[in-house]
Structure 1
Amino acid sequence: MPTTDPETTTPSWQWPETTWRRHVDAVRAGRPLRPERWPDGARVAVALSFDSDHETIPLRDGQTSPGLLAQGEYGARVGAPRVLALLARFGVPATFFMPAVSALLHPEEARAYTRDGHEIAVHGWIHERNTLLAAEDEKELVGRALETLTEITGERPTGIRTPSWDFSDSTLDTILDLGFAYDSSLMADDEPYEILAGGRPTGLVEIPVDWIRDDAPYFTMDRYGAVRPHSRPRDVLEIWRDEFDAAYRSGGVFQLTLHPHVIGHRSRLTVLRELLDHICAHPGVWYATHADLARAVRTAPPAHEIPEHTS
């Protein structure tokens, strides 16, 4: 199990300044990486992503009931084909973050992602909670996931999204040691930035996520718990459309995280189609995989701030 800092076993108001500063500075947002202009002079970058978790959510927790596994199977059997067909219709590339166990259960799906021009990226081994792992276990699982996706698809992933959207004390070292070009798990900005470790630049690009731009918080259902869908799909469409419009005004990035087993249902896929209709109605949109985006922000000169207009 991860080691416990003896100083942090006391109430936080009793911590000395060195303790809370050390934890705050461990992983921090560094220089902004939004470029002066996007490829081909585009006004905005759109980076769609899908976390193909499928059966790994219940399996992670040792839950093997057919009902729970069937909910995940829906993502592979129904959701992913629908998503791929919709992306093909619009000619939009995306990034699929896939746990290795999902890829082993559905290898043809994993190969379809790369065959159709999309990116496949690491999303843990079995959607494990990496913050609960010892450092050696976390590195072994991420390394095993990286090699598994490479063997199945023939392409070595360059990006990672941690299953828990969080870092343990060892996650950053693991990502750097395994040679990833970017991460997409943290939330310190709307735009890409360089990750700092203890105040030092790492060269690692962060493509930030946020629960606002994720379908699961709006639509997830747990029949035995307090989690219940409380949003109409078109209410969520309004949020995502506003997020895109703001990114378009500022010349930034619109990043979205979806799940085939969540967004793949008919009434929700309609919302994604309408969102893409809205985006495609705007000139100057660059559709990028997360790997494309990481390359672009790493090599281009940084932007001056573009004023965001409210009208």
Structure 2
Amino acid sequence: MTDQPWQWDEKTWRGHVEHVRAGRPLRPAAWPGGAKVAVALSFDSDHETPALRDGDVLPGKLAQGEYGARVGVPRILKLLRKYNAPASFFVPAVSALLHEGEVKSYVDAGHEVALHGWIHERNTALTETEERDLAFRAADVLEGLAGTRPVGIRTPSWDFSAHTLAITRELGLTYDSSLMADDDCYELLENGEPTGVVELPVEWIRDDAPYFMMDRFASLRPYTPPRGVLSIWRDEFDAAYADGGIFQLTMHPHIIGHRSRLTVLDELLDHIAGHDGVWFATHAQIVDHVRQELK
């Protein structure tokens, strides 16, 4: 019979905590061009993959995902052009294969394409072999479509297994963006040892999904008006600006791409662009800059 957590000895509970841990902070001495804040916009182009992952193959859920590719992505690209804001698109390989030309549209517009699983799988439900196979297959697909191999990963649903960091290192990736131990970048430790992998942290309060997702057969309902979310995100940016740090945001084309929500994103970007010393950058660009702290 497995011991309950309250029965674990110190070696056991300490081992769980220290398996993947935040290492040294990577706050740079300055941002490029003397900027006061780095703004890291990101979009998880999940589209139909969460439904496919769950075996929900009827038209209803798939159409909701298709909206992201058909309507959300073109609107988002247009808005990013308006503010000359490069962003990072984390793309499941199946999404990339389903929507011909989408990955190329990101690259052509100067955005980053990064890993987001094969079919938005739940990493913690996989064996180590399965997780590794899907990660390497996904990297091959994105490299073929984007013309360059991804340098970063965001695990689907920010689901981080006991093997994820080791697989990330095997892939030769420079960064992850799935964990939440800081506001700014930090180096990941594996069992107490520095890995050289940079974490560009996320947070649920800076993600559109918790505020806006809807499932009529579950208790999942949108609970915050779009302008309420604008207020939260604006305050997050203002604090990052005052602190000289990073403002990182995670969005999804099939969620943020609706009219009333994209209006809010437009207002947020207008607020950000109204400040002096703002550096809009991809996750990879920010990580490249902060990695100088590792040298």
Counterpart residue number, 2:58: 65
CA distance in structure 1 between the partners assigned to 2:76 and 2:148 by the alignment: 21
- Please state if 1:155 is matched with 2:148: yes
- Please state if 1:99 is matched with 2:101: no
RMSD value, Cα: 1.1
Counterpart residue number, 1:220: 213
In structure 1, list runs of 5 or more residues that go unmatched.
1-5, 303-311
Counterpart residue number, 2:177: 184
Kindly state the Cα deviation for residue 106 of structure 1 after the two structures are TM-superposed.
0.8
Length-normalised TM-score, structure 2: 0.99
Counterpart residue number, 1:229: 222
Give per-residue Cα distances to partners, 1:25-71, cap 9 Å, x unaligned: 00000000010100011000000000000000100001101000000
In structure 2, list runs of 5 or more residues that go unmatched.
none
CA distance in structure 1 between the partners assigned to 2:294 and 2:144 by the alignment: 36
Contact 1:36 1:301 in 2 (8 A): no
Equivalent position SS for 1:30: strand
Identity %: 65
CA distance in structure 1 between the partners assigned to 2:238 and 2:150 by the alignment: 30
- Please state if 1:19 is matched with 2:15: no
Counterpart residue number, 2:281: 288
Length-normalised TM-score, structure 1: 0.94
Equivalent position SS for 1:225: coil
Choose which of 254, 266, 271 in structure 2 pairs with 1:278: 271
Kindly state the Cα deviation for residue 10 of structure 1 after the two structures are TM-superposed.
1.7
Counterpart residue number, 2:136: 143
- Please state if 1:55 is matched with 2:43: no
How many residues matched? 295
The runs of at least 4 aligned residues of structure 1 exceeding 4 Å deviation read: none
Q: Which residue identity does 1:296 align to in structure 2? A: H
Contact 1:32 1:193 in 2 (8 A): yes
Flag the 1:301–1:265 CA change in 2: closer, same or farther, 3 A. Answer: same
Kindly state the Cα deviation for residue 166 of structure 1 after the two structures are TM-superposed.
2.7
Kindly state the Cα deviation for residue 301 of structure 1 after the two structures are TM-superposed.
8.0
Flag the 1:29–1:301 CA change in 2: closer, same or farther, 3 A. Answer: closer
Choose which of 75, 79, 85 in structure 1 pairs with 2:72: 79
CA distance in structure 2 between the partners assigned to 1:168 and 1:212 by the alignment: 22
